[in-house]
Amino acid sequence: MHLQTRIWQAIAALAIVAFIVLLLIKLPFGGEEDEPVTRSVELPPLGYEVVTFDALPGWAVDNHREALEPFLRSCIALQARPAEAAANPVEYLAEDQPVSFGGTSADWQGPCEAALALVQSGNVTLDEARAFFEANFAPVQFSQPVVEADTAPMMTQDGLFTGYFEPIYPASATRTDEFSAPVLTRPSDLVTIELGTFRSELAGTRLAGRVENGQLVPYDTHAQIMRDRPQTEVLAWMNPNDLLFLQIQGSGRLSIDGRDVHVGYAAPNGHPYTAIGRELVRIGAMTLEQVSMQSIYEWLESAPAEAAAQVREVNESYIFFRLVTEEKDPALGPFGAQGIQLTAMRSLAVDRRYHTLGAPVWVDLDTDDNHPYPMQRLFIAQDTGGAIRGPVRGDVFIGSGSEAGGQAGLMRRTGRMYTLLPLSIIERLEGDGTQAQADA
């Protein structure tokens, strides 16, 4: 029986314990596997080091069994590629980093088959689940540069971790005074170009625009799209502030006449994302400490319509959507960039230029005013995001609905990440030398 079919059968029989919920707002994330992670072509340098599992804070006390199901789901996508194909086709490889972190599909076959065999053997204990990850992977800790005024760049293992959720918004099939903003499908004249097909050093970077007189020119900005709607299908009509946050999340559920309609990310207009919270601080509407998803939404709702529109359109980025018709497991979240349904508190959005979708990732997050306890748990990289940029940057999928949204809106934490890579990839990394990049 084909490995992918066996994995689906195993997933159906696998019981996973419920989740813990904690965490902030995600910026636009992709719903297609090869959608762009960022528009910028300037990539930060990367440091990495192979470490032991003993070096992972809290590793021994997590419930690793909860990560087995999402990992098996990711195996379906990982094993869909030919054995010799790159597991991460948009990985950025610098000249001084000849060894791929993603490897090939064949590198992931062993861990995927071992996970399947473990699940099919019967009830998986916590110790067995932890032993599986320890036997088939080794952790790699990543670091990235930090630049302070008047100092040379230094490498740090700390990075920013936020949270996101699947919103459920009221909407209408027709335009009304309340629901005046259209949810648009991808226009036929929107063109995306993978720059990696022209230059290998630009792998993972895309441009979006339209062709005019034989030249690619930028597509319309957010404001231009609102003034002069492109010729494309309208999936639904929403409150304009709800639409903004739907675009920030990248997908969600719309409640239309008592029925739920799922919409997913289709494409961006190609303009960079600008956080409107910074604009509200700039104009004196609130302080930096007051900025949150909730405070931004409340300001937009209470402001005059024209003022709210001006603030929304400071962000020139615009996301087009598609109607999600794939069969969904109601217990899971939306489809992420890997084409796999997300699992609350076990799915993580990462920067695909550095991390392979489907890879297990250990996250160690510090405490802060909103979170009195550290977060130390195993996630599976299954999504991407327009603001998720850099080797040490993650976005935790919290869940669906308003409660998850409230928790996501409070999350902006400092932490560290360790990607678990198959041993065959580790052997090549160690053969190439794992400390050099950190000190280069």
pLDDT per residue over 124-149, tens digit each? 999 999 999 999 999 999 999 886 65
Would you give the DSSP letter of residue 341? Answer: B
Picking from 387, 394, 391, the residue whose alpha carbon sits closest to that of residue 36 is 387
Task: List the chain domain ranges.
Answer: 3-274+315-439
Write the pLDDT tens digit of every residue in 55-64: 999 999 999 9
Region 233-252 average pLDDT: 93
pLDDT grade for 167, boundaries at 50, 70 and 90? confident
- Return d(Cα 94, Cα 298) in angstroms, integer: 44
Write the pLDDT tens digit of every residue in 20-41: 222 223 333 333 333 333 333 3
Would you give the DSSP letter of residue 259? Answer: E
The pLDDT of residue 175 is 96
Region 243-267 average pLDDT: 89
Question: Domain 3-274+315-439 classified CATH 2.40.40.10?
Answer: yes
Write the pLDDT tens digit of every residue in 93-128: 766 667 899 999 999 999 999 999 999 998 999 999
Would you give the DSSP letter of residue 86? Answer: B
Where is average pLDDT lowest: 223-237, 337-351, 385-399? 385-399
Sequence-distant (6+) residues with CB within 8 A of 119 are 10, 11, 13, 14, 68, 72
- Return d(Cα 33, Cα 338) in angstroms, integer: 5
